[in-house]
Amino acid sequence: MRANLPPREFFIGKEIPGREGYRIVEHIESGGNGRVFRAYSEQLKNSLACKLIPRSNLLASHDWKLEAQKANSIQNPIVVKYDTPIEWKGRYEGVEIDCVGFCAQYINGVSLKRYIQANKGNITIHFTEMFLKNILELLNETEFKSIPHGDLHAGNVLVEERNEFQLAPTDSIKVIDFGVGSSDKLAKNDFDQTAIILKSLLENIEYTTCSPRDKFAFNVLNDHFLRHLTEQDLTRDPYARRPKNLFDKLNDITKTFSEAQAASESITLTTPFDYLSCEQIGSAHSLLQTLYSNLFLGLDIIESPNNLVLTGPRGCGKSTVFKSLSLKHRLNVKDESAANLKYIGVYYRCDDLYFSFPRYQTPVNPEALDLPVHFFVATLIIEVLDTIQAWSTKYFSEAFSKTEPILSQKIWHLLELEHDTTFENNHFQPIANRLRKERKRAVEKQRLINDPSQKLGKYFSPGVLIGVCDLIQSEFYFLDSKPFFFFIDDYSDPKITIALQKNLNRIVMSRSSSCFFKVSTESSISYAKSDVDGKNYVEGREFILQDLGLTFLVEDQGRKLAFIEDIFRRRLNAIDGYPVKALDELVGNSSSKSQNEIALKIREGKVEWYGKEVLIDLCSGDVHYIINLVGKMVSSVGNAEGISAIETSPKIATALQNKAIREEAGNFLSNLKGTFKNGQALVEVVTAFGNVAHSNLLYRDSKNEGSSSPHQASRIEPYEDPKLSAEAQYIYSELIRYSVFIEDRRGKSIRGNVVTRLFLRRFLIPHFNLTFNKRNSIQLEPGEMETLLLHPKEFVTQKLLRQAGEILPDASQTSLKFEG
């Protein structure tokens, strides 16, 4: 598009059409679509910014005045408002000029992009918080009015120069350019873009020179806010993409810091229901150790010497178990078993991979293909060197000191990086420092891959990481052939795009005796099972797929109960003097009731959900949900003080448990509506299924070993592969991505076809008045599956039972149609 930009010389010195007295005096900036000039009126002693876009750079269907309309509809004062539209035509040295544009208030300052470049390493926490507060206030209004900016990046944020005459000069920003010339499909999400800008600011803060309060703020912004801004699942995170909640949390940083200082230097629980996710725990290794249960279901598979793709609903503990198995964590908590390891666990969370390669697409230039590989390999080698050094110096100090210089020389040679050959560089730390620079080089070059004048240079190949691990294994005798387990956390599309996964899968799916890769992803559809070279990876051969949601569904009830009870025992006992020490003291048990008895109670309209067995059944691996649910029950009776005053057993009445269980399912569906643009469609699909399944329970009986009982279906079983249309497949994928249904690919249909069955997420079962019985299904023909996904109301009309003994038309039989 830049090729269409008009010559800037044409405009200099000319009066703006329709703006008497205002002449263009200087060119300020050029973007992909147009140019910005400064105009000045000698008579009014005033400057204006004049933005001009060649008409040829506008999309044919685009209303170029829309940018001004959007900006002028926003009340927030940081948005620069636009004046009367301009159309400017002419001719310059044989070039036809045909531009449209606007005049606006002139902001005396520079773009945030240039501000960051000019202040590398000198950005302050104060400035960063100021930026974020202003942007969150803006997002609060744009979200409410459904007027997204659509192109929010550091070039479209201006930093005003401080007014020297102010008695208390402050930093301030302005936001420009609501994305003229961009289609809705090309518009970028404002929260994702804010996170990318925030990451750039944080990278240019000198952490070591910060005050204790500012270090605390840095960690909150880096560990929490970046995730809140990019989190798409509103059912999971109360701060996710919620400007008001984020704004309040930002304002509370100083207060939170003061409370943390007053309490203790180490992070502890204040209630048993704090820290529902591993990300909230951050670097508090002792707290992670306190909360982690080694009864974690599926642990044997995770620790097996195989490449692994670990999936499961958000909050099922993927991050917790990965981080807990890392050697760095075990060293931090003084785990004595760390001296005798089966493997060297290296943990890496993909957050900085996302911020370094956002919305990654496979480059046209093949020379740029290894840039993400270079970044990824450098990052993991740094983690390997840091981990090995920390472990070796603790348990094998003398052997490490002797071997480190020799091994370092070999690693330098393998990496093929130019370096000083002095003795000081023959250690792990100089290698790690150089690799940090290589990470930055890869990111900087990635931004320039479309510039034909750039020479990209040479980068690491996928095999370099395994080569380094092989060297370390062979040189340190005390490793005794222990493999490296790389725990790669949150390797999920859309943050880590399918294109980026296919690029990095050349590493992640490598097979080697020295390295095994364990990646966690939200669901099976969030992971690419192939690489950029076109190789497809086969489950069971190149990797094992472990779905924790399904693991929890099929696991023995005793093991599930032992795990959940251990989770609560740890939390309840982590607080001195807490009035209860075990889960059953709070909620009691309901083990005496069978699922058939519950189904009959539902028919009578008298069912009540309570007890620890019900909590176990509600769990689809999403342990955070159960902890949060019990926390709300406890809150309803007055927290610890209220529990202490209750003398009955269980402490929480069954009616309160039932109410909380049903309300929480409703909250999930309500939040699901706002999760993505078609969230309402997901709710309609699951509601249609739930209503049909409930009607089957009410009016249909199933024979089981000679006796009859209500038909208790909580899963969908297709007769055969439905071969969905693209539109239906999209809805299906989102249902799986957000774990509204959990896939079970183990079985065959009654026709002998291998099919994927879908279990309803378990905590939705009470909401639709179903049971946890897994014996029955709602069986669907391919066309019926398509109807459920695209026309759920029609599906209900076709499949809903309205009276006992009702027989619905068999969809497998094609009806005859007569013309006449």
Burial of 676 from C-beta contacts in 10 A (0-12 / 13-18 / 19+): middle
The reported pLDDT for the residue numbered 814 is: 37
The reported pLDDT for the residue numbered 813 is: 41
- Percent of the chain topping pLDDT 70: 92
pLDDT category, 423, cuts 50, 70, 90? low
Strand spans (E) along 77-210: 82-92, 95-105, 109-111, 157-160, 173-175
Dihedral (Cα; 279, 281, 283, 287), 10-degree rounding:
-150
Query: Is the predicted pLDDT of residue 471 greater than 50, yes or no?
Result: yes
Count of beta carbons in the 10 Å neighbourhood of residue 106: 18
The residues near 601 (Cβ < 8 Å, ≥ 6 apart) are 607
Across the range 77-95, mean pLDDT stands at 89
Across the range 578-601, mean pLDDT stands at 90
Mean pLDDT of the chain: 87
The reported pLDDT for the residue numbered 266 is: 54
Tokens read off for 662: 């049903």
Tokens read off for 689: 């299924």
DSSP 8-state class, residue 55: G
Are the C-beta atoms of residues 489 and 517 closer than 8 Å to each other?
A: no
Higher pLDDT, 233 or 511: 511
The reported pLDDT for the residue numbered 62 is: 65
Question: What does the pLDDT look like over 129-177, one tens digit per residue?
Answer: 999 999 999 999 999 998 999 889 998 999 988 777 766 667 789 998 8
Are the C-beta atoms of residues 18 and 84 closer than 8 Å to each other?
A: yes
Question: What does the pLDDT look like over 16-72, one tens digit per residue?
Answer: 998 999 999 999 988 777 899 999 999 999 999 999 989 888 876 567 788 888 899
Domain coordinates of the chain in residue numbers? 2-106, 111-263, 298-553, 555-672, 679-799
User: H/E element holding 467?
Assistant: helix 464-475
Task: Domain 111-263: state its class.
Answer: mainly alpha
Are the C-beta atoms of residues 423 and 337 closer than 8 Å to each other?
A: no
Burial of 83 from C-beta contacts in 10 A (0-12 / 13-18 / 19+): middle
Q: Please give the CATH architecture assigned to the domain spanning 2-106.
A: 2-Layer Sandwich (3.30)
Are the C-beta atoms of residues 492 and 484 closer than 8 Å to each other?
A: no
The reported pLDDT for the residue numbered 752 is: 63
> Does the pTM of the predicted model rise above 0.95?
no
The reported pLDDT for the residue numbered 694 is: 96
d(CA 483, CA 305): 8
Across the range 240-252, mean pLDDT stands at 92
d(CA 675, CA 237): 11
Question: What does the pLDDT look like over 282-302, one tens digit per residue?
Answer: 667 788 888 888 899 999 999
Question: What does the pLDDT look like over 169-204, one tens digit per residue?
Answer: 677 899 988 865 444 445 688 999 999 999 999 988
pLDDT category, 573, cuts 50, 70, 90? very high
Tokens read off for 265: 């230097």
